[in-house]
């Protein structure tokens, strides 16, 4: 079975946005955003995903990727 991988780190680099700045814009803690960035989560709320996309001016497809094993 494949898995969904967050490519948040790549989008943050493209947008030249730091973890601290994005966490502040999204309204979540640095620790939780770091977990998202490093793929150490099993779920993400749609509201959080929407806030990240708004802050980074992107779509969910820009930061979510499916990897087939």
- The structural domain count of the chain equals 1
- 10-residue averages of pLDDT along the chain (69 residues): 94 97 97 96 96 98 94
pTM, entire model: 0.92
Tell me, yes or no, whether 38 lies in a domain.
yes
The range of the structural domain enclosing residue 28 comes to 3-63
| Three-state DSSP state, 4 | strand
**CATH code for the domain in which residue 9 is found:** 1.10.260.40
Residue 69 pLDDT: 83
CA dist 4 and 50 (Å) reads 17
The DSSP result for 8-49, as a single string, is: HHHHHHHTT--HHHHHHHHT--HHHHHHHHTT--S---HHHH
Whether residue 69 lies inside any domain: the answer is no
């Amino acid at each position: 079975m494949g898995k969904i991988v967050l490519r948040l780190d790549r989008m943050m680099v493209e947008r030249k946005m730091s973890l601290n700045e994005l966490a502040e814009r999204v309204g979540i803690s640095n620790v939780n955003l770091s977990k998202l960035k490093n793929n150490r989560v099993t779920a993400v709320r749609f509201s959080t995903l929407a806030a990240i996309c708004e802050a980074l001016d992107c779509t969910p497809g820009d930061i979510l990727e499916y990897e087939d094993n």
